[in-house]
Structure 1
Amino acid sequence: MSSSTELAGALEYHVANSLGWQDLRPLQRASIEPVRSGADCLLIAPTAGGKTEAASFPVLSRMIDEGWHGLSVIYVAPLKALLNNLLPRLDQYTAWLGRRVALWHGDIGDSARRAILSEPPDILLTTPESLEAVLVSRRVDHRLLFRDLHVVIADEIHSFAAGDRGWHLVAVLERIQRLAEHRIQRIGLSATLGNPEDVLTWYQGSNVAAGVGGRVISAGDPPAAPDLALDYVGSVENAAVVIAALHAGEKRLVFCESRAQAEQLTFGLRDQGVTTFISHSSLSLDERRQSETAFAEARDCVIVSTSTLELGIDIGDLDRMIQLDSPRSVGSFLQRLGRTGRRAGASRNALFLATEHETFLRAAGLLHLWGQGFVEPVTPPPAPRHIAAQQFLALALQEGRFARARWQEWWAGSPVMADGAEVLEYLASSGYLAEDGGWLFIGPSAERDFGGRNFLELLSTFIADLELTVLHGRKEIGGVSPISLNAAVIRGEKPLLLAGHAWKVVAVDWQRHRVDVEPEADRGKVRWSSEPLPESFEMVRARREVLLGEDPPASMSQRAVDALGTIRGVWSERVDPAGLVLARGEKDVVLWSMAGLRAHETLAAALPNEFEARSTNESMRFAPAFDLAEFRGSALGEALPFIAPDAVSGLKFSAALPADLARATLAERFVDRANASEVVGGPIAFANVPDSAS
């Protein structure tokens, strides 16, 4: 090493001699002192900046110098594939020091789990759901397992913080903290964050009140400007032709915005004779493992993926990142861009291939927004009342019973339990928790709604669509949604597409959720259920700026230039530089407000019913009764978007909440009063409405 690192001597020796490193990377050196001090830390560096080592090296140094024993470190990540990828590296680092690391997630068998419980490793790689499974297991002595825990490292912390899995994670950590004999140091890792201090405070939880310091560590030179290109190809089939013709001999990673699109592109590329691998969440474990192995070893190939490869999985020596259509956030784009430029002399690059005018405009808007230096703040969704309900039930399983008067002690004032008293009252009054002498335990309603397969449903905080398992002989290919199995597919007249291959359906067993198939030469189709996604105010307004003349900071093919001209022509009467556009048609009034679905639905909730507002991300459509003066006077202070009763089923554990509270939870997560106010008060440049309406 070029100079002393302040790591433990044995570790520093192996970094220099076993790895052959002449020096640590900037973040790795900058993190040593704060991590070794015991402070909670958020470590930020560009993708491939060495974040794993920035956390693990000083933590391992503490482990050696302070004589930790037993399960001392938990390393959580949002994806099983990421944990699989990390295992060999951390196994090497711990072996240098005579320590051990082990892996525990949904794909790990019972024998490996029993070995972990009988002789716990020093570091456990796992997911929040698997931690919950350990906590609620009757065969685990929780206090014995977690008493020596000193550190929890959360990889890709932004991915957790943006959703309910993050609330679940921090709630589980508070329960583990109560079992541990030491204050648990919390370390988060991320490459893309617009508000790091807020995320760190959220992750620290009870450590803030306990006086544990929190430090954001960001180091390393900013990466060089990437090579960006934007093209319009018009279809997935054309995209396959273009990708097959480009960069032969190189490893190319293509991100798709849906599983169905990934399957179509993979089939098309293989049809072009391109060695292609595919990754998405509905593939079987065997298919995913084969792909992960190929990612690291193959060279002249294309890897097609949904967001599953967006996070920090090592896919080897990648040359090109190609984006089919567009992601829906700058943060997601930055994660994907960071998959390239990892080796010396290589540069970051991205090629956007748009298959529709709508997605071309989204890509152009995203690139324009990125060019302005914007990165979305990561904000945990508000009102996690359903997670509070899950936590009460999980605690009852974990402990067998808990004292009603002392439940707060388990979460130490965590905001996840801000409405805990109200939620607990409902659980007790509706039979989800039964009470005896001030003690609460699992009740008959919880047994009925969540008791199947030993309360397996309580371990996951998100709802997975029903899928049928697809098998060729004894080999599992993956899973498909029932909507993929129309009459023609079931009769074997049309093929099914899965894992990049076409299959003829031989038999469907609806009771066992099983589909038997055999190979088919013709192209098939596959669909998974999905809902239109609301987009942020910033993303939609960026599209407006592109429509008004801003060009994206990327080289554009002639096809792209022509497509942009066509799109601007189509939208010319819907956007105006002086303000929003209001236009009356024969049957309705349309406001092209370009503010995102959340702002539009919030505003719709404040308007009179006779306005009959209908919203998209780009516009609000009203009945002829629309009155501009009344619109301007909308009271948004208490407005909450309407939530249909059926929509509550999409909120996990909603059954354990009163119906009105479950709907309020969804509404509070959808509301956007700030940007709705901007629509109400913003200038309207063009109002093609009669004087009585204006």
Structure 2
Amino acid sequence: MSTPAGFSELHPVLQHHIVNTLGWRELRPLQQAAIAPVVAGEDALLLAPTAGGKTEAALFPLLTRMANESWAGPSVLYVCPLRALLNNLEPRIASYAGWLGRSVAVRHGDTGAGARRRIAIDRPDIVLTTPESLEAMLVSTTIDARILLSEVRTVVVDEVHAFAGDDRGWHLLAVLERIAELVGRPLQRIGLSATVGNAPELLTWLQGSGRGRRSAQVINPEVPGSTSADVELDYVGSVTNAAKIISALHRGQKRLVFAESRARVEELAQRLIDLGTETYVSHSSLSAAERRRAERAFAEARDCVIVATSTLELGIDVGDLDRVIQVGTPTSVAAFLQRLGRTGRRRGTSRNALFLTTSDDELLTAAALLLRWSQGYVESVVAPPGPRHLLAQQLLALCLQKGQVGRTTWVEPLRDLGLTSDVETMKITEWMIESEHVDVDSAMLFVGPEAERRYGYRHFIELLSLFTSAPEFLVVHGSHEVGSIDPYALIRKVNGPRVITLAGRGWLVQHIDWSRRRAYVEPSESLGTSRWIGIPQPLSYQLMQAERGVLLGSAPASVQMSDRAGSQLIRIREELAGRVDHRATVIESTTGRSRWWTWAGGRANASLMAALEAMDPALIDEGYVFDNRSIALRAGVDAGALRSVLVRARGQLGKSDSGIRPIVTQQALEQLKFSELLPPDLARATLEARLEDVPGAAATLSHPVVDSVI
């Protein structure tokens, strides 16, 4: 290997093994660029496509620091969003650490009690973990976190964009602030991510409260050829046809197929198996053992397919892939880039993706997404606003960690994270006292009887998770857990034996234990159906505006479109021509109804609906119906009736005292975990902020509105 500046800063033992054990002739650009700032102790965000060498870019300089500065363990926390990703990374990271006589351990929810005890006793140098397990260590009654975590210097956050986009990111930041308080020093923070649209802001977010903030930089060197890809868009009309094409194309190659729901994954796997294609399945409702079995078998096979949801979007290693196929479309360019990056890893191969769309809606959305991709657009990663419920959860977690905390001082470690205001913090504290989630004695707070009742089961395990679990039934074959399924699949009326499909296989339901929520099954030659509860995700203003652009004639560059897709897109444009206009939004009036075609996305339309209701509720359809593309209005409402209302709405939208807020249903509140820890008005305000898109709504209001001419 040549020795450019930077490589010589790595520990000599690492240099030797990189050249002689790994056989690398050179470091990748990201790995080279990361050495100096990471060795210097700076915070950093390392950006590269999937399989771009981000793990090594962080670990090689950190192992150098560990050796040069004689760090004791655990000194590095390596945090991932998925347990499977941690398991996948452990052998590789352990081999690197082992070159320097350092040790690695995995600690997550599947780690057994014995392994957890060994971590506390042997104290490995690097701990691979999740935010939930970090908090479990902080509140544990069997280990002393002050001893176990006392030497922590650095945290590496893999797939940081996956954290930052939801409440797990806020939870991670809060836990890191508590660890920094525990060890008495700020932590070096290194984020690893694929391409994002707002890298500097993401790095600032990762740095947390700013107390003791280090110098920081985004490291994103240009990689020659990294933007080229072979992307195709096809229209196939049905899942059955998609399976036929997948089965026939690229035989002898390994194909990773993405679908957007667990039910579609199972349906597609069924069809492929029926066609004689060796097929494996991976999604979140399969047991960990079943997922590992499928992913291991796929990695070792050659001519096969694995069908997955976004669980395989992140960097879990399933071997060298030849093809990525998307049935339907992901909801963001960022997700597409993650999936595209699973290919083109071997020398002489290129990144590739084939879209197989099964409906007009899917074709339109896929064309829009690829249009944005071809324009170089990638979504910004924005943390959910107003995480007040997370602050309330942290009050209980701090009570568990410390036994008791000051009534007015407990928030100090978290004060500068921006979770909420000081006034609202006081209001949340008083509500939790009033609702008996915490008790108070001599200005000290501790866990109250309501928190014990609601969360105390199994050492407060539900308090450590940010997700509300769906009430699924465990599916068991003998002593083997296959996965879980929605109860509806077990109670819906069927003619004959009840057969469900899970892991791409049919299962005959033999017995249902309703009290333990278990379904006992035996293999079946027949195939049944699958069902899970899911909440549709609103699509963005940018993506919907791209749909509008496609309908008006734009097409994605550098994308090969099949004749079928091209012909179908022409038909879609003709059919929807009356719903788009080059200069305006459109009111379409038909018998008994009117509809305002905004092409603004679900959140912006929620804000627009709220504005219409505040200005003139008589305009709105009594069903209060809107979607990503349009808003239902009462029959007879035309552009003239709407214009003056929209002018007034434009002046009020975004004002704090306007009263324009999206409707929050009780069902929505129940989906916000820990909402019961908040005063009702703050719980509602949290969801209102998360359901709205004021900039998208304002942009829509800036356009004229016209009546459809077709």
TM-score if structure 1 supplies the norm length? 0.97
The corresponding residue for 1:619 is 630
The corresponding residue for 1:353 is 356
Question: 1:446-474 CA distances to partner (integer Å, 9 max, x unpaired)?
Answer: 11222222211111111121111111122
Distance in 2 between residues matched to 1:305 and 1:583, nearest whole Å: 39
Kindly report which structure 2 residues correspond to 1:250-265, keeping only aligned pairs within 5 A, or say none.
250-265=253-268
- Is contact 1:135-1:398 (8 Å) kept? yes
The alignment yields a C-alpha RMSD, in angstroms, of: 1.6
Question: What letter corresponds to residue 497 of structure 1 in structure 2?
Answer: T
Q: CA deviation at 1:5?
A: 2.9
Question: 1:588-630 CA distances to partner (integer Å, 9 max, x unpaired)?
Answer: 3211110011111111112222222521110111114743222
Question: 1:78-100 CA distances to partner (integer Å, 9 max, x unpaired)?
Answer: 01111111001111011111110
Q: 1:433 aligns with which of 435, 438, 443?
A: 438
The corresponding residue for 2:462 is 457
Matched position secondary structure for 1:152? strand
The corresponding residue for 1:692 is none
The corresponding residue for 1:294 is 297
Question: What letter corresponds to residue 215 of structure 1 in structure 2?
Answer: Q
The corresponding residue for 1:600 is 605
Question: What letter corresponds to residue 691 of structure 2 in structure 1?
Answer: F
Distance in 2 between residues matched to 1:576 and 1:211, nearest whole Å: 49
- Is contact 2:189-2:207 (8 Å) kept? yes
Q: CA deviation at 1:684?
A: 2.3
Question: 1:391-419 CA distances to partner (integer Å, 9 max, x unpaired)?
Answer: 00011011111122322332252112544
**Does residue 1:377 correspond to 2:384, yes or no?**
no
Q: 1:216 aligns with which of 218, 224, 239?
A: 218
Gaps of 5+ in 2: none
Question: 1:138-196 CA distances to partner (integer Å, 9 max, x unpaired)?
Answer: 11101111110000000000000000000000000001111114321000000121101
Q: 2:617 aligns with which of 604, 609, 618?
A: 609
**Does residue 1:588 correspond to 2:593, yes or no?**
yes
Matched position secondary structure for 1:405? coil
Gaps of 5+ in 1: 690-694
Distance in 2 between residues matched to 1:455 and 1:116, nearest whole Å: 21
Between 394-403 and 630-639, the greater mean CA deviation after superposition: 630-639
- Is contact 2:136-2:464 (8 Å) kept? yes
Question: 1:555-577 CA distances to partner (integer Å, 9 max, x unpaired)?
Answer: 12222122112211221111122
Question: 1:419-459 CA distances to partner (integer Å, 9 max, x unpaired)?
Answer: 43332222122211111111110011211222222211111
- Is contact 2:578-2:709 (8 Å) kept? no
- Cα gap change, 1:488/1:642 in structure 2, threshold over 3 Å: closer, same or farther? closer
Kindly report which structure 2 residues correspond to 1:251-650, keeping only aligned pairs within 5 A, or say none.
251-418=254-421, 419-488=424-493, 493-553=497-557, 554-607=559-612, 608-612=616-620, 613-624=624-635, 626=637, 627-628=641-642, 629-634=644-649, 635-636=652-653, 637=655, 638=658, 639-650=660-671
Matched position secondary structure for 2:276? coil
**Does residue 1:225 correspond to 2:228, yes or no?**
yes
Distance in 1 between residues matched to 2:211 and 2:574, nearest whole Å: 57
Distance in 1 between residues matched to 2:146 and 2:498, nearest whole Å: 56
Question: 1:492-515 CA distances to partner (integer Å, 9 max, x unpaired)?
Answer: 534211000011111111110100
Distance in 2 between residues matched to 1:615 and 1:321, nearest whole Å: 34
Question: What letter corresponds to residue 348 of structure 2 in structure 1?
Answer: G
Question: 1:669-693 CA distances to partner (integer Å, 9 max, x unpaired)?
Answer: 111111212222312243579xxxx
- Is contact 2:586-2:706 (8 Å) kept? yes
**Does residue 1:662 correspond to 2:665, yes or no?**
no
Q: CA deviation at 1:661?
A: 1.2
Question: What letter corresponds to residue 537 of structure 2 in structure 1?
Answer: L
Q: Which runs of 4+ in 1 moved over 4 A?
A: none
- Is contact 2:103-2:125 (8 Å) kept? yes
Distance in 2 between residues matched to 1:306 and 1:271, nearest whole Å: 20
- Is contact 2:186-2:213 (8 Å) kept? no
- Cα gap change, 1:430/1:487 in structure 2, threshold over 3 Å: closer, same or farther? closer
- Is contact 1:262-1:278 (8 Å) kept? yes
Distance in 2 between residues matched to 1:581 and 1:412, nearest whole Å: 46
State how many pairs are aligned: 687
Question: What letter corresponds to residue 618 of structure 2 in structure 1?
Answer: E
- Is contact 2:90-2:106 (8 Å) kept? yes
- Is contact 1:611-1:625 (8 Å) kept? no
Matched position secondary structure for 1:485? helix
Between 667-676 and 384-393, the greater mean CA deviation after superposition: 667-676
Question: 1:616-650 CA distances to partner (integer Å, 9 max, x unpaired)?
Answer: 11011111474322233212123211101232000
Question: 1:202-237 CA distances to partner (integer Å, 9 max, x unpaired)?
Answer: 11013x342411111112415142111111111111
Between 610-619 and 340-349, the greater mean CA deviation after superposition: 610-619
TM-score if structure 2 supplies the norm length? 0.94
